[in-house]
């Protein structure tokens, strides 16, 4: 680790002066620590890394230790890409998977090897039923189904069976019973029964004597009734959200205010799903014509959406700020860019950012899942669009097919899920009914 290497690494990040200081301090400290404990020409060892982490943990909170470890890992990854031998933390991440935080926590334990062992990823479809699951999924996908949700559900069953080797060789109903007993709740019970039915159907294709397992009658309805109802943001709450995004500043993330503001505008003003927002590239945005393209989304649909002029202006301002920090400008480059890590944002990161905006606006508790969700902005888009149509004197029923197309639904039935009655909407509908009733009475000679 040479001092000039650190300077060249920091130049690739394009950091502001304050951010550069927060990087260079732990890097130089780690370099000095490693040189004291490593002979000339010797590679960095896991022993040296653990000694550094332990010393840092004795002085600082665990969160700060993980943050500094992340900086060092990024630097070591940069060195490895330049031809230096891979560092031990890269080998641990590749071998055990998991987040850096869990690896750091394990390395701080005395018996770190035993602490790392639970992090080892399980092989895909490694259970006794794994081959059957893999074959069934391949068959359904060959028929044109994405089958993503069912695949994730079967993966959970597969991992459960791998963690319970004592169940190997047991009858299929006993395996389902053990999985159901592992957790409580109606949703888990539905998951078990749905997976059991799917797998029993796959078994029956091999052996027609295998019975197809049923799903308990009414279980799906009970799960739906227990689901959390969507929160339809009021217009005042929307204003608070945009204000919280506009002031959402961070020392190491100069784009954060305009980035979260723009994402919020697309989620609320265009009714986009968070996955659709995360998948956007520069190719999909046409500010000249005020159009955004959503590619290969749910139900295998691609759609082009016109945006309001105010939304186009917000997107244009974000693109200008994005260009100013040196983000890539190729058509396939991700729309959402972080200059600190020099890459795009993932689905989970964008969802986390918007959730933090909701918390900053005071609409959601600081911890936990209670309170409004990011997806509720899509419900608010539909409710407020209906409300605006009532205010403009438009007949909403005639516009539902247009709304379904804009939302990317395959039919109006899917859109009906988003038609939530709010007090404002009910008031507008009642007023329209009163006026029409008065006109009908007047035409019939009655008292208006």
Higher pLDDT, 304 or 425: 304
Domain ranges of the chain: 3-119, 130-226, 228-448
Mean pLDDT of 126-139: 95
Among 383, 386, 361, smallest CA distance to 372 is for 361
Whether the per-residue pLDDT at 144 is higher than 70: the answer is yes
Among 347, 379, 374, smallest CA distance to 361 is for 374
3-state secondary structure of 305: strand
Whether the per-residue pLDDT at 413 is higher than 70: the answer is yes
> Residues with Cβ < 8 Å from 207, sequence gap 6 or more?
none
Active site residues: 273, 298
pLDDT value of residue 262: 97
Helix (H) or strand (E) holding 154: helix 148-163
C-alpha distances (whole Å) from 176 to each of 39, 107, 173, 304 are: 56, 36, 5, 44
Q: Which pLDDT band holds residue 334 (cuts at 50, 70, 90)?
A: very high
pLDDT value of residue 60: 92
pLDDT value of residue 340: 74
Higher pLDDT, 100 or 429: 100
pLDDT value of residue 437: 55
Mean pLDDT of 170-187: 94
Whether the per-residue pLDDT at 121 is higher than 60: the answer is yes
> Residues with Cβ < 8 Å from 410, sequence gap 6 or more?
299, 301
Residue 234 and residue 272: Cα distance in Å, rounded? 18
Whether the per-residue pLDDT at 161 is higher than 70: the answer is yes
Mean pLDDT of 307-335: 94
**Could you confirm whether domain 228-448 is CATH 1.10.443.10?**
yes
Sheet with 303-306, strands from edge to edge, namely 285-286, 291-294, 303-306
Q: Which pLDDT band holds residue 66 (cuts at 50, 70, 90)?
A: very high
Q: Are 248 and 356 in contact (CB under 8 A)?
A: yes
Mean pLDDT of 386-402: 84
Residue 238 and residue 383: Cα distance in Å, rounded? 13
pLDDT value of residue 145: 85
Mean pLDDT of 62-71: 92
pLDDT digits (tens, 9 = 90+) for 79-104: 888 777 778 888 888 888 768 899 99
pLDDT value of residue 221: 86
What percent of the chain has pLDDT above 70?
A: 90
Q: Are 385 and 422 in contact (CB under 8 A)?
A: no
Higher pLDDT, 141 or 441: 141
Helices (H), 294-365: 309-324, 347-360
> Which one-letter DSSP state was computed for residue 286?
E
Q: Are 230 and 376 in contact (CB under 8 A)?
A: yes
pLDDT value of residue 438: 52
Tokens describing residue 15: 């950091």
Tokens describing residue 89: 């933390």
Q: For the chain, what is the mean pLDDT?
A: 87
C-alpha distances (whole Å) from 16 to each of 12, 87, 134, 251, 339 are: 12, 27, 49, 9, 10
Lowest mean pLDDT among 165-179, 237-251, 285-299, 386-400: 386-400
Q: Residue 358, Cα to own-chain centre: how many angstroms?
A: 15
Among 56, 124, 126, 45, smallest CA distance to 92 is for 45
Residue 267 and residue 254: Cα distance in Å, rounded? 21
Whether the per-residue pLDDT at 177 is higher than 90: the answer is yes
Whether the per-residue pLDDT at 29 is higher than 80: the answer is yes
Whether the per-residue pLDDT at 191 is higher than 90: the answer is yes
Predicted TM-score (pTM) of the model is 0.68
Among 165, 163, 155, 191, smallest CA distance to 176 is for 191
Mean pLDDT of 422-447: 58
Tell me which range, 91-105, 152-166, 361-375, 429-443, is most confidently predicted by mean pLDDT. Answer: 152-166
Torsion of CA 397, 399, 404, 407, to 10 degrees: -130
> Which one-letter DSSP state was computed for residue 191?
H
Whether the per-residue pLDDT at 10 is higher than 60: the answer is yes
Lowest mean pLDDT among 112-126, 129-143, 180-194, 401-415: 401-415
pLDDT value of residue 43: 81
pLDDT digits (tens, 9 = 90+) for 241-267: 999 999 998 777 889 999 999 999 999
């Amino acid at each position: 680790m040479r001092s000039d290497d650190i300077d060249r690494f920091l130049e690739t990040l394009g950091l502001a002066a304050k951010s550069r200081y927060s990087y260079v301090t732990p890097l130089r400290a780690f370099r000095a620590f490693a040189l004291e404990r490593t002979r000339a020409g010797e590679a960095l060892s896991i022993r040296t890394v653990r000694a550094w982490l332990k010393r840092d943990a004795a002085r600082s909170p665990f969160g700060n230790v993980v943050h500094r470890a992340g900086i060092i890992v990024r630097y070591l990854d940069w060195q490895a890409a330049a031809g230096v031998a891979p560092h031990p933390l890269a080998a641990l991440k590749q071998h055990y998977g998991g987040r850096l935080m869990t690896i750091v926590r394990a390395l701080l334990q005395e018996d770190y090897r035993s602490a790392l062992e639970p992090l080892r990823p399980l092989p895909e479809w490694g259970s006794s039923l794994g081959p059957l699951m893999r074959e069934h999924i391949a068959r359904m996908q060959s028929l044109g189904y994405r089958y993503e949700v069912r695949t994730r559900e079967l993966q959970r069953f597969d991992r459960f069976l791998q963690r319970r080797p004592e169940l190997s060789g047991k009858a299929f109903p006993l395996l389902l019973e053990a999985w159901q007993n592992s957790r409580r709740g109606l949703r888990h019970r539905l998951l078990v029964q749905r997976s059991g039915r799917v797998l029993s159907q796959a078994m029956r294709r091999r052996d027609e004597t295998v019975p197809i397992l049923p799903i308990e009658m009414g279980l799906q309805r009970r799960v739906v009734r227990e689901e959390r109802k969507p929160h339809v943001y009021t217009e005042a709450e929307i204003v608070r959200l945009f204000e919280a995004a506009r002031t959402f500043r961070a020392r190491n993330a100069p784009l954060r205010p305009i980035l979260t503001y723009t994402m919020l505008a697309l989620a609320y003003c265009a009714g986009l799903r968070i996955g659709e927002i995360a998948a956007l590239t520069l190719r999909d945005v046409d500010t000249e014509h005020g159009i955004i393209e959503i590619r290969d989304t749910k139900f295998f649909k691609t759609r082009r959406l016109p945006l309001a002029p105010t939304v186009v202006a917000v997107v244009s301002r974000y693109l200008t700020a994005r260009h100013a920090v040196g983000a890539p400008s190729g058509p396939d480059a991700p729309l959402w860019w972080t200059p600190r890590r020099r890459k795009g944002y993932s689905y989970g990161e964008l969802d986390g950012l918007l959730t933090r905006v909701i918390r900053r606006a005071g609409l959601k508790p600081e911890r936990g899942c209670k309170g409004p969700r990011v997806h509720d902005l899509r419900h608010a888009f539909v409710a407020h669009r209906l409300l605006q149509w009532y205010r403009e004197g438009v007949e909403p029923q005639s516009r539902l097919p247009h709304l379904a197309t804009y939302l990317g639904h395959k039919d109006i039935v899917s859109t009906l899920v988003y038609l939530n009655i709010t007090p404002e909407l009910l008031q507008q509908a009642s007023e329209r009914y009163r006026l029409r009733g008065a006109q009908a009475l007047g035409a019939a000679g009655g008292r208006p």
